Amino acid sequence: MSNTSIIRVQSSEGTKRITITSQDTFKSLYEKTAEAFAFSSYEQFTLYKEQNKKSPLQPTKLPINLRHGDLVYFVSEQSNAQSNPISSSTTTHIDFLSKLIDREEDDVDKQLDIVDGRIPREKNPQLCHHGAHGKCLHCIPIEPYDEEYLKNHKPPIKHMSFQSYLRKLQNSTNGDKFSSLKNISCSVKEKCPAGHAPWPKGICTACQPSSVTLMRQLYRHVDNIMFENGNIVDRFLNYWRSFGHQRIGFLYGRYEAYNAIPLGIRAVVAAIYEPPQETSKDEVQLVLPDPRETIAESLAHRLGLRRIGWIFTDLIPNDRKVGDGPVLHHRGNANTCFLTAQECITSGWFQNKHLNTCKYSPDGYFGSKFVTVVVTGNASGQIHFEGYQVSNQCMALVKSEILLPTYDAPELGYIKETSTEQLVPDVYYKEKDSYNNEVMKIARPLPLEYLIIDIPTGFPSNSNLQIQSTFNDNCSVIKTPFCIENRVKTGELQDMDAFTLYLQQFLETKSVRSQSKSYEIIDVLADFHVLLYLATNDIVPFSMNELNPLLDSIRQHDLNGVEKWMTSPHWQTLLQLLQLQFPTTNRKSHTNVDEQSSEWICSRCTFVNNVASEQCDMCSFEQNVSS
């Protein structure tokens, strides 16, 4: 009888024992392993002698040179394809991570991905004793995540950028070891490979979610929020000023590199879209679904914009005259309550809906760049803007629906308890006790500062004046901007009357055009709310195919392109309709508003006459006589 040995085969599903004899070959070992793991063919997996997958065992007819009790590692072809690292011949600064999925990242991530990122330092005359072209410990460039640099920066950088965090992972990983950014899961895995009944009838360590210890996130996906100009939020705040109700809007803009923080990213807001909502002095509730959402997204995409965040007001009038300003922080103390639990949950819901594409994560995404802006009152009663995100841990809690608001303490959250419907993992946070010892506490209740990341928010400074607004918010001609959508309560209706009055502002300036150049032709239609009205009105709706040339011209700031679009039959039809409905509207094309009027329109038959003619050449009706 041949001598037998036991070989242990370890896989992601567990370890199995394979009995072999001295007559067996590596091919027979593969065949027995396939039978043990219920695979139809041994070509569907690979056996490795070492865990780092450096020594694959080939299914040959050579005798097995393994000893009794040896451990080999089983990797299926599917797992192998997902975990196979990129060749070292690719870009060196990312070879520490496995590019598990070929994903199309944001342009700003691609831009920062190829930047060196290290912070240069000048030669220290006291400590550096080398030549002008030399480097030493005191002047060599430092990494963008250097703690001393972030701490001593003016002002101090509280959170490193996400790209800096990636560089930190790179330099802390050994060359033979590969890392990936894993998303947190607080839910039971579906279809457990163990084959037991689903929760609550069955559970095992393979499908049970791990406990979570909440930590303050060291990095943030967006490092700064900037509005292109103040008129954007001024129009948004007019709803609260005129009606006293709180308001929600979605921010449309773009992401760009932010040089004030190493490898930083800034969210630039170009427009605010206000969805249907039920408002009051104390709360706002979105009305879903939004019938205009798809069109708004299509317009923004063609303009090179995207939905990058949401904004809401948190204001009440300062009737008690506390402080010097006109408003109060709606929830009381601005220094103790940043976001309520309900607002954190809403932010987490939005961030889960707008995930950040990341090629280093096996899921294809990691975190989110979606931001939250709160318009509230500061300590002196002045209106100011606060920017936030919630952490990736908070996103996981919200996705699994286990984070709840509290009834009487808005600054606290509460973790749901396990029930027959849902298994909830233990969630902890750390704090110091009365003896200054760090202790673990169950997150019932939960201080929300563990979940919140603050982001500086503001407007262009004098050094940023070269930033060009996407839309016409800074146009001096516009005294009455076009109505904003979904404001029926305040009497702002997007209709032909409002659109005519909006266009009339440009026509009325022809008499003073010789004094200064008040506007450009692109300013007439470079308004997100005007474009949305053109696409959604019921009288002369414009399709996306008809609007695309105009949107391209606005995105490229092409005055000739806008002028050419204004000669299109559909736009001229709309102008003609406005003239028939409102005879006082000047028929002259916007493309020629710079020229002095040389024609007049008969109010009876609408024939265009020469300015020298006192009577209509068509119907003999006298000029300046009402019909």
Nearest to 511 by CA among 411, 425, 595, 606: 595
Average pLDDT taken over every residue of the chain: 83
Same domain, 241 and 348: yes
With cut-offs at 50, 70 and 90, classify the pLDDT of residue 220: very high
How distant, in Å, are the alpha carbons of 158, 252, 501, 527, 535 from that of 298? 36, 12, 27, 15, 10
Residues 317 and 439: their CA atoms lie apart, in Å, by: 42
Question: Domain ends where: 416, 442, 458?
Answer: 458
Q: Which amino acid is at 75?
A: V
Residues 82 and 625: their CA atoms lie apart, in Å, by: 80
289 inside domain: yes
Nearest to 559 by CA among 569, 550, 572: 550
Residues 370 and 222: their CA atoms lie apart, in Å, by: 8
Nearest to 429 by CA among 419, 410, 414: 414
Residues 157 and 40: their CA atoms lie apart, in Å, by: 56
Residue 562 and residue 521 in contact, taking contact as beta carbons nearer than 8 Å:
yes
Same domain, 350 and 403: yes
Same domain, 390 and 496: no
137 inside domain: no
Nearest to 554 by CA among 485, 471, 498: 471
119 inside domain: no
Check residue 59 and give its pLDDT: 85
With cut-offs at 50, 70 and 90, classify the pLDDT of residue 511: very low
Residue 373 and residue 225 in contact, taking contact as beta carbons nearer than 8 Å:
yes
Check residue 527 and give its pLDDT: 94
Same domain, 379 and 259: yes
21 inside domain: yes
Distance of CA 135 to the CA centre of its chain: 40
How distant, in Å, are the alpha carbons of 523, 598, 610 from that of 577? 22, 22, 22
Question: Domain ends where: 27, 44, 76?
Answer: 76
Residues 189 and 180: their CA atoms lie apart, in Å, by: 20
With cut-offs at 50, 70 and 90, classify the pLDDT of residue 462: low
Using a pLDDT cut of 70, give the percent of the chain over it. Answer: 82
pTM of the model: 0.75
Check residue 112 and give its pLDDT: 93
What residues make up the domain containing 349?
Answer: 212-458
197 inside domain: no
Residues 263 and 585: their CA atoms lie apart, in Å, by: 52
Residue 554 has pLDDT above 90, yes or no: yes
191 inside domain: no
Same domain, 454 and 492: no
CATH (domain of 240): 3.40.140.10
Same domain, 318 and 259: yes
Residues 206 and 228: their CA atoms lie apart, in Å, by: 49
- What is the mean pLDDT of the segment spanning 179-208? 83
CATH (domain of 13): 3.10.20.90
300 inside domain: yes
Check residue 81 and give its pLDDT: 47
- What is the mean pLDDT of the segment spanning 122-129? 86
Same domain, 449 and 499: no
Q: Which of 177-181, 208-212, 343-347, 571-575 has the highest mean pLDDT?
A: 343-347
Residues 593 and 566: their CA atoms lie apart, in Å, by: 12
Total structural domains within the chain: 3
Phi, psi of 399 (to 5 degrees): -60, -35
Residue 580 has pLDDT above 50, yes or no: no
Q: If you write DSSP's letter for every residue of 447-473 in order, what string do you get?
A: EGGGTEEEE-EE---GGGTTPPPSSST
496 inside domain: yes
Check residue 325 and give its pLDDT: 59
Phi, psi of 374 (to 5 degrees): -110, 125
Same domain, 422 and 505: no
Instruction: Report the chain's C-alpha Rg in angstroms.
Output: 32
pLDDT in tens, 249-279: 999 999 999 999 999 999 999 999 999 999 9
Question: Domain ends where: 441, 458, 475?
Answer: 458
Q: How many CB atoms lie within 10 A of CB 421?
A: 7
Residue 198 has pLDDT above 70, yes or no: yes
Number of H helices, E strands in the chain: 14, 26
Same domain, 453 and 561: no
Same domain, 357 and 291: yes
Same domain, 442 and 537: no
Residue 271 and residue 305 in contact, taking contact as beta carbons nearer than 8 Å:
yes
Same domain, 533 and 434: no
